[in-house]
Amino acid sequence: MAAGLRLFSILILCVHITDTHAKLRFASSYGDHMVLQKSPAKAMLWGYAPEGTQINISLSGPPQQEATAVADGEGMWRVSLEPVEAGGPYSVTAASHNETVTLTDVLFGDVWLCGGQSNMAFPTSRIFNASEELKLAADFPHVRLFMVALTHSETQQTDLMAVALPWSVPTAENLSRFSAVCWLFGRYLHKSLKYPIGLVESCYGGTPVEAWSSSRVLQQCGLEHSTGTWPPASTSSLWNAMIHPLLRTVIKGAIWYQGESNAFHNKDKYNCSFPAMIDDWRMAFHQASGGQTEDDFPFGFVQLCTFTKYSKDLSYPEIRWHQTADFGFAPNQRMRKTFMAVALDLPDESSPYETIHPRDKQDVAHRLMLGARSVAYNEVDVTFRGPFPQAITPSAAEVVVSYDQALSVTLSRNTFEICCSKMPQSCETSSSWVEVPIKQWNATKVVLHPVVCPPSEEVTGLRYAWRDWPCDFKACPVYSASSTLPAPPFISQRYEADGITWQEDVN
């Protein structure tokens, strides 16, 4: 699987950056055609010049702005602009007594960072209906693209080591190798918001969350620092090279598609490492941007799709659960201001890029976009979460599952399972998980088929879609009635406090 996950590392031609501070320049994450974060935030500009050099910054308008910075002892200068409303184009000029550097065709809008491993890196040229999607590139000139090159480092880098795609207006050519999920998410957002969107792709196939995390996260979650046999997967190596250099970039939010590598590596600590990484990124971006990136910026993620059909291994359902900090949904008490796109109902058995790389990225991006509209943009009338149980009522005859929203239910493959055990014995030590079919349902409840536990046991556990590949394409049993969003997987045990209420049968 590792070879398949590293498939995309050989596809990107990197533009290497000469790290010379002897001349005036912007940092490598800036360029013509870029998007800077709009008001109410103050966009930050920074770069290099000889120590002590005074830099005069100007923004052509209207409105026009001017500011001054001085290169410090490390040859770096930085300045924050006054807030600028969405729009453009602008020119941004940095000038010293003998040098001038100008960025042209600069827009102001919302900047989103797209991170993760190969399913986030999966290029637009490989998705379903790719040719039609690539033809649309010219219709969205205000959705701008930037791609960080595949690099790694044992130490934190101030500037990017290399750039794979400098800031660009989308074309069929450059979009063909750009992240499909990132592009589609940005395109859908732009159609909703009607102003510029900047997309920064920073992802690397086959990598675990530890590689994207600072030493602070590793320490918090009790993860050992290791170099590993493949450097990009080493702890903090991608944080150092592909995230840390972006911290001064003022961003609106981030989306994330990763976890496959952690299904078989430090899986049981992902419920700590992933939420801790989100918290740490938020803190680091906020501090490095002078407080202009929000310290709780919205963070969306994709709950993993599928890998192996008919597999009895529980690594995928367990990592999906840990992606939510074991709550089963997002946002939650541990992962505030997050949103999740459930993808377990989008398998691609015939994918030529291995089943771990499904080609339907349109639905993934659309579900992320719904979450962003609700969580990041506070649209109150947008449903972005599928149904989740509020209460479970077991009896000797049936099990009633009460959901938090109206349902659309179909009788498909059995995806509910119960556990019979002696109370209060944990189902984790029981092999008594058995499938139970749906008996009937109404607007908000699913009634499972009559259940008969041994005389000395009772129903003590219920789980849903707790398999690597729980259903065929868009054919899981439970969806939301209003938005056809799939119900996420869950596991609940009667004598454990997991957020779902177990109540006695009132009949």
Last residue of a domain, one of 332, 353, 375: 375
In a domain, 357, yes or no: yes
In a domain, 275, yes or no: yes
Is residue 154 located within the same domain as residue 253? Answer: yes
pTM above 0.85, yes or no: yes
Q: Which residues contact 90 (CB under 8 A, 6 or more apart)?
A: 59, 60, 61, 84, 106, 107, 108
Please classify residue 233 by burial: count the beta carbons closer than 10 Å to its beta carbon, then call 0-12 exposed, 13-18 middle and 19+ buried: buried
Q: What is the pLDDT of residue 19?
A: 46
In angstroms, rounded to a whole number, what is the distance separating the alpha carbons of residues 358 and 474? 13
Is residue 168 located within the same domain as residue 247? Answer: yes
Is residue 353 located within the same domain as residue 418? Answer: no
CATH classification at residue 370: 3.40.50
Considering its fold, how many domains does the chain have in total?
2
Is residue 347 located within the same domain as residue 439? Answer: no
Is residue 346 located within the same domain as residue 469? Answer: no
In a domain, 25, yes or no: no
Is residue 269 located within the same domain as residue 413? Answer: no
In angstroms, rounded to a whole number, what is the distance separating the alpha carbons of residues 210 and 388? 30
Residue 213 to residues 174, 216, 334, Cα–Cα distance (Å): 29, 8, 18
Is residue 442 located within the same domain as residue 364? Answer: no
In a domain, 365, yes or no: yes
Angle separating helix axes 270-288 and 315-323, nearest 10 degrees: 40
Q: What is the pLDDT of residue 430?
A: 57
In a domain, 55, yes or no: no
Kindly give the parts of the chain with pLDDT less than 50: 1-20
In a domain, 148, yes or no: yes
In a domain, 74, yes or no: no
Is residue 241 located within the same domain as residue 350? Answer: yes
CA 270, 291, 152, 306 dihedral sign is positive
CA 378, 381, 384, 386 dihedral sign is positive
Q: What is the token pair recorded at 197?
A: 């969107």
Is residue 234 located within the same domain as residue 367? Answer: yes
Three-class secondary structure of residue 428 per DSSP: helix
Q: What is the token pair recorded at 133?
A: 């999607």
How many helices, marked H, and strands, marked E, lie in the chain?
10, 26
Q: What is the pLDDT of residue 14?
A: 46
In angstroms, rounded to a whole number, what is the distance separating the alpha carbons of residues 104 and 60? 10
Containing structural domain, residue 417: 389-502
Is residue 275 located within the same domain as residue 367? Answer: yes
Is residue 349 located within the same domain as residue 409? Answer: no
In a domain, 119, yes or no: yes
286: left (phi over 0), alpha (psi -120 to 50) or beta: alpha
Is residue 120 located within the same domain as residue 199? Answer: yes
